[in-house]
Structure 1
């Protein structure tokens, strides 16, 4: 099982930013090998130890395998999503993690 953490930076004041990412969640959750797919933003109010970035969306994903993740990236709905959000995204950092135990 893989856990993916994708930090997506958006332009400032992009009010619609999370809605665009939440829109695809139901479709992605039906994909073969998808065991979790969630859009997260910073919790408010902040607490002392928290780093906060109002222009960041974190996608927390769980995929059965690398092959499933790669197939997900090639789906028509993801290609449409990338096209629809490309002008609002400034940077994406992806971590692909597996259990270290």
Structure 2
């Protein structure tokens, strides 16, 4: 099982981040039905107001669980993901994707 953390940096301004979140809300049920998907959730910074927190107010973090890289690659090629990318292209600056595995087994 792989864990994917994708940081989606949006253009400055809460309306850009909200547009990305709204677009994710539309596709989450479809993505969760994809073969090999075991989790797909957008996360944003919690306003913890603690000195040790690193905050990214213009980012959405996708926390995803996939059976394999092949399943993740298939996900990225689906029509709903292509449509999603087109819908948010004017709101997103860049995306950083981390594909992680358990370090201690």
What is the deviation of 1:25?
Answer: 1.0
User: TM-score with structure 2 length normalisation?
Assistant: 0.90
**1:1-101 to 2 correspondence within 5 Å?**
1-13=1-13, 14=16, 15-101=18-104
The 8 Å contact of residues 11 and 58 in structure 2, kept in 1 or not, is answered as yes
Q: What is the distance in 1 between the residues matched to 2:58 and 2:92?
A: 9
Query: What are the ranges of 5 or more consecutive residues in structure 2 without an aligned counterpart?
Result: none
Q: What is the distance in 1 between the residues matched to 2:77 and 2:21?
A: 22
Query: What are the ranges of 5 or more consecutive residues in structure 1 without an aligned counterpart?
Result: none
Q: What is the distance in 2 between the residues matched to 1:84 and 1:62?
A: 23
What is the deviation of 1:16?
Answer: 2.4
The 8 Å contact of residues 46 and 52 in structure 1, kept in 2 or not, is answered as no
Question: Secondary structure, in 3 states, of the residue corresponding to 2:30?
Answer: helix
Number of residues of Structure 1 aligned to a counterpart in Structure 2: 101
What is the deviation of 1:22?
Answer: 2.4
Task: Tell me how large the CA RMSD over aligned residues is.
Answer: 1.1
Sort the Cα spacing of 1:23 and 1:47 in 2 relative to 1 into closer, same or farther, 3 A.
farther
By percentage of residues, which structure has more helix?
A: 2
